[in-house]
Structure 1
Amino acid sequence: MNLLGPADIRVLAEQLGLRPTKQWGQNFVHDANTVRRIVTSAAVAPGETVLEVGPGLGSLTLALIAAGHPVVAVEIDPALAEQLPETLAARAPSHVDRLAVVQADALRVRRDDLPEGSRDPAAIVANLPYNVAVPVILHLLAELPSVQTVLVMVQAEVADRLAAPPGSRTYGVPSAKAAYYGEVRRAGSVGRAVFWPAPNVDSGLVRITRHAAPPWSMEPAQRRAVFTLIDAAFAQRRKTLRSALAGWAGSAQEAERILRSAGIEPSERGEKLGIAEFVRIASVAAAGATPPRDPGRDAPPSAD
């Protein structure tokens, strides 16, 4: 298939009267080698359906279809959503049945909004708008349990945060929440020159492989409880968990009780905990467990 190059991108944009907007994070990839690399890095089995968010003018869409994947493209811009099937028809008329376009906001799209027969994609592969990348990833992983692989291009700083391990400088809310769903790894870097217009930052590829057998419940109520806990733990990043979780637990004393029941030292900080520890704390809090008796701790806990 003849993929889009810089001249093709400019011609399409001119035909549409398109001026890329910061509001929707529109930076279009115009390098065929880059989109081929993304498809290869995704390593999705041929024939598996892929959900693409923000297809834009269709650079990555065409590469995915050329690799044998049916594509469900979620595009917020009505003009781009309307143009995408026409671009595919002009370049690969025999493959038009491999594309379904949903004109919607990916932050609000639901499984039932996808076309019947395409509601259980195996993967998400996308060049995500920088300003909504993390919320989109977390929303779609929750909404589409069929997705086993995520390969996205995001701002390099966001990529670092998503893939950061506990205890690292960049570890935080995105890292912990993404790890709830599976293994998160950096999958490479992408320079600025492959975009039009060129962004002011470099980009990075992130791969998320969903847990084949989740080590904890994936029920919505459990997820909400764990994510609320993570938010509380990082809201005051430099404070100990005893202090940071005081509001979440109702008091510092109750936070300490829950932490000790979960086997976590109250003087620890949230940035040191992995997702398994956060799940354990949330489970203890939900169960109302009583901590084991410690005769040596008769004195009230000291202040942080």
Structure 2
Amino acid sequence: MARVRQEALSSLLSARDVRDLADRLGIRPTKTLGQNFVVDANTVRRIVRVADLAPDDVVVEVGPGLGSLTLALLEVVDRLVAVEIDPVLAAELPTTLAERARAGTSFEVVLSDALKVTELPGPAPTALVANLPYNVAVPVLLTMFQRFPTLRHGVVMVQSEVADRLVAGPGSRTYGVPSVKTAWYAVAKRAGAVPPPVFWPVPRVDSGLVAFTRREPPRTSATREQVFAVVDAAFAQRRKTLRAALAGWAGSPARAEELLRAAGVDPSARGEQLTVEDFARIAAQASRSGGLPTTP
């Protein structure tokens, strides 16, 4: 487990610190940017413990806000890169970290939309730990997986229902596109619940922690884009059989059935019954048969 360095703790932000800092900066949390700031020190240290970081981990944090979780991370790791879309918050964060973080840490703040980041300064990141903006949590997570293959593990805080979708397995009522695409990159599991009162402003939804460990994608001759195209098509109409759901993707119901049978998948099954490996076999079969359109 990650160990806080008791001899050099950061000065974490209290609830009053967060509000005072926001007032000074004229910050009013907005739904547009998915801003809900964590104001409880025990919660951010709990997230860091769950992340199980080593001092030499290079952490990337998306949406650091005023720096509550950032400071807790810098109690454990020596290097951190924070990606912040809000220019006011991005400009203030270095000052907060310089004043409160323990000595000997290195950090950089990147002013950018996380969905547009293609590279980060310094050594390649090894861990992602973040309170993700809830309105874009899934695309941000999948983007980080795709663009930074050196990310070995991490923890993200998301809306509770989204957490359920990210970790769901085949056959679950919450199993869908986020579940399958996450499974392509990593093994994900629920790592606890987070109650609304630890945030400011207090959200109307519960939150959950999702811990992940990078895995190798399924062995397949198909590309990731080809596999994800099958996934998107299969879940576009959840109640339909795969023969019907994949008809548009394949060109016709008959062609979809042909590809499914060749891949060893029952055409009468539904997308929520398939594993990521099943989707990879379908995509590979289509690729060997002349190829089909893909989506990113």
Tell me the TM-score normalised to structure 1 length. 0.90
Gaps of 5+ in 2: 1-9, 291-296
Give the whole-Å Cα distance in 1 for the aligned partners of 2:60 and 2:226. Answer: 28
Deviation at 1:34, TM superposition (A): 0.4
Q: What is the deviation of 1:93?
A: 6.6
* In 2, Cα distance between equivalents of 1:223 and 1:214: 9
CA positional deviation for 1:38: 0.5
Q: Write the distance in 2 (CA, Å) between the matches of 1:215 and 1:25.
A: 33
Give the Å deviation of 1:69.
Answer: 3.5
Q: Which amino acid aligns with 1:98?
A: S
Cα distance, 1:148 vs structure 2: 0.8
Tell me which of 162, 166, 173 is aligned to 1:162. 166
1:224 maps onto 2:230 in alignment: no
Aligned to 1:235: 236
The residue type paired with residue 57 of structure 1 is L
Matched residue, 2:125 = 121
Shift of 1:91: 1.4
Mapping of residues 190-205 of structure 1, within 5 Å: 190-205=194-209
Distance 2:205 2:218 in 1: 36
Q: CA RMSD in A?
A: 1.4
Runs of 4+, deviation exceeding 6 Å: none
1:177 aligned to which of 173, 181, 193: 181
Selected match of 2:58 from 24, 45, 49: 49
Distance (Å, rounded) in 2 between the aligned partners of 1:275 and 1:131: 25
Spell out, residue by residue over 1:181-202, the C-alpha distance to the aligned partner (whole angstroms, 9 max, x if none).
1211111100000000010100
1:105 aligns with 113
**Aligned counterpart, 1:261:** 262
Q: Distance in 2 between matches of 1:61 and 1:74?
A: 11
**Per-residue Cα deviation, 1:250-281 (whole angstroms, up to 9, x for no partner):** 01111001000100010000010011100111
Structure 1 SS opposite 2:103? helix
Tell me the SS of whatever aligns to 1:230.
helix
3-state SS of 2:114 partner: coil
Residue number in structure 2 paired with 1:21: 30
- Does 2:223 match 1:215? no
- Quote the Cα distance in structure 2 between the aligned partners of 1:139 and 1:244: 26
Percent identity between matched residues is 60
Structure 1 residue 207 displacement after superposition? 1.2
CA offset at residue 44 of structure 1?
Answer: 1.9
Once the two structures are superposed, residues 37-70 of structure 1 have per-residue CA deviations (whole angstroms, 9 ceiling, x without a partner) of 1011011222210000000000000000111241
Unaligned runs of 5+ in 1: 290-304
Per-residue CA shift, 1:221-254, capped at 9, x if unaligned? Answer: 7111111110100001000000000000001111
Question: Paired residue for 1:10?
Answer: 19
Between the aligned partners of 1:39 and 1:175, the Cα distance in structure 2 is 24
Cα distance in structure 1, aligned partners of 2:101 and 2:199: 23
CA distance in 1, matches of 2:254, 2:207: 44
Query: In the alignment, which residue of structure 2 is the partner of 1:87?
Result: 96
How many residues are treated as equivalent by the alignment? 281
* Residue 284, structure 1, aligned to residue 294, structure 2: no
CA offset at residue 73 of structure 1? 0.1
Deviations 1:16-40 (A, max 9, x none): 0100011000000010110001011
Q: What does residue 294 of structure 1 align with?
A: none
SS of residue in 2 equivalent to 1:107: helix
Q: Deviations over 1:112-140 (max 9, x none)?
A: xx11x23x100100000110000000011
Measure the CA separation in 2 of the matches of 1:145 and 1:93.
29
- Separation (CA, whole Å) in 2 of partners of 1:170 and 1:18: 36
| Counterpart residue number, 1:73 | 82
CA distance in 2, matches of 1:284, 1:202: 41
Distance in 1, Cα, partners of 2:102 & 2:24: 20
